[in-house]
Amino acid sequence: MHTLTRLEHTIANRKEADPDSSYVAKLNSLGLPIMARKLGEEAVEAVVAALGEEPGDLVEEAADVLFHLMVLLSAKDIPLSDVMAELDRREGVSGLDEKASRGS
């Protein structure tokens, strides 16, 4: 089983846990606005790390971004397979063409 698939299962299993014993449950108890803001904070930290000189810092922040994105996807009942299918759909398509096809 792929790491992200295992993480998706772990997040699903901890969603309804006691917020005092599970970070996933705590995030879910705080609601979507807090989860979305936390993802944004982690994304900013990844940008800062990308501009730094330590590759390990970006690795750690990228892992945080993926984790918080998956918590948010779970909260919205969006399976990872939907995201992967969208990436598959885009494979072989120019990023510029794909972005242009979305309109403004």
Residue 38 lies in a domain: yes
Asked if residue 84 is part of any domain, the answer here is no
Of the pLDDT bands very low, low, confident and very high (cuts 50, 70, 90), residue 104 is low
Least confident range of 11-15, 77-81, 98-102: 98-102
Tell me, yes or no, whether 8 lies in a domain: yes
Decide if pLDDT at 96 tops 90. no
- Structural domain contains residue 103: no
Give how many domains the chain has, as a whole number: 1
Q: Is residue 93 part of a domain?
A: no
What would the pLDDT profile of 17-69 be if each residue is shown by its tens digit?
999 999 999 999 999 999 999 999 999 999 999 999 999 999 999 999 999 99
**What pTM does this model have?**
0.87
Residue pair 46/58 in contact (Cβ under 8 Å)? The answer is: yes
Question: Domain containing 59 — which CATH number?
Answer: 1.10.287.1080
Domain of residue 35 covers 3-79
> Model confidence over 86-95: pLDDT tens digits?
999 998 877 7
